[in-house]
Structures are given as structure tokens and as C-alpha cells.
Amino acid sequence: MTGTPAYAATRALVVFVRAPERGQVKTRLAASIGADAALAAYRMLGTHVARNVVPLSASTPPCTLIVAYTPDSPTAEASTRTWLGDAFTYEAQVAGDLGARMAAAISARVAAGADAVVVIGADCPAVSAATVERAFAALDGGADVVFGPAADGGYYLVALRRVYPELFTDVPWSSSHTLAVTLHRARSAGRRITFLDTEHDVDTAVEWDAWRGVGAR
């Protein structure tokens, strides 16, 4: 999908995903359980998160649900749409590192009329509609940026009303320092920060087994 759709909602949730292709997803997990099992795990996690957040589409004020997928190809869009369903609008991520891609997605939502944007991935099964509503509420309460810290040192959620470039530029993505560096930048710029609960992404066999032990449902 090209261009920026004209959304009617004043809030937006963007779910960042990679198209479900063998060998291209959950590579850390695949090193332990194999590429086929890792792909199945990724599909299960994404389905779980998507099902959790779909109720936001009927929320008040309204919330548009977007899936931002990569790579940018008709095949990737088709496989992602088949996987996650028709409750979402689908659009390709731009080129660049994760920071550039998130910044572009947030900027597009703001340009389309959203006054609050939440970005999540498909890796944290604890995220629900209630989690996203807490992030929106924190923005309404005066926060400039809201983070959902991940136990591995990154974050599973970020919420803003506009892009602050310092939060998305020259950050060590997918590392144990991701959130610490981002927080340092935010505090240095005087941004008001709110935190949600710390949760676990599912990136390793131990985390995958732990989630399934709770009962992935």
C-alpha cells in the first residue's frame, strides 16, 4: 500500500512486524528450536497480540489499527494480511534502521490526523488493549513519551504525540542498552516520561517455553 491513508481516528496503534517467512523471523529463537518451529512461534505470537488489541477498533475515542510490515513487497503484504486478518490497515515500513522506520510510521500517523500514536511489536504477548489504553492515558495525563520497558533492556511499546528525533537516531537497537540510551536522550531533552510495567519479549527458547507454560491462549 502506498501513500498515507486519510484516517478518521484521533488515536493510532501501529504494530511493527516482519512478514512471516521461514528463516527471516525469530532468528535467535531459531538457533535453538529450528527455523520451522521459530516461524510457527512467531505466527502464534503475532496472532495472540493481534487478537489482544483488536478491541481498540471499537474504543472511544476511536483508534485506527495499522500493521507496518517489512519487506516492502506485494507478497509480504499478502502473507501478513492472511496472518493477522482484516481488522488492520496494512502498509510497508520505509527503508532504514528501526529508529528511522518507527519515526516515519509515527510521523505518517500524525500527518494523517492522529493526536496520539502507540507503536508495538509482535514479540510481547503481555500487550493487550488495556496496555495500549494505559499508554494513551499517560499521554493524556501530560507525558511526552511513554515506554513499556522490556526485561532485556529494550522496550516493547512507545507512545508519543509527535516524533522527537533524538529518540530514534543513533540508538543501539536490539541491544541491552536500547532503552537506557533512549531514556538518556529523552531526559537530556527535558521530555516528560511515563513508564508502563516491565514485560518480557519472547526472543529465546527459555522465554518461549516460559510463555507456553503460562498457557498461550
d(CA 61, CA 87): 17
Strand partners, 186: none
Domain assignments of the chain as residue spans, ordered by start: 15-209
The pLDDT value given to residue 155: 97
136 pLDDT above the threshold of 90:
yes
Which residue type is seen at 211? W
Helices 35-53 and 74-84: crossing angle in degrees, nearest 10, is: 60
The pLDDT value given to residue 167: 97
185 CB-near residues (< 8 Å, 6+ apart): 166, 167, 171
The pLDDT value given to residue 5: 46
217 pLDDT above the threshold of 50:
no
Q: What is the pTM of this model?
A: 0.92
216 pLDDT above the threshold of 60:
no
The pLDDT value given to residue 60: 87
Domain 15-209, CATH class in plain words: alpha beta
Burial state string for 84-97 with b = 16 or more CB within 10 A and e = fewer than 16: beeebebbbbbeee
d(CA 166, CA 188): 10
The pLDDT value given to residue 212: 86
Q: Where are the alpha helices (DSSP H) in 120-204?
A: 129-140, 178-188
pLDDT in tens, 34-63: 999 999 999 999 999 999 999 999 988 889
Task: Write out the three cell numbers for 2.
Answer: 502506498
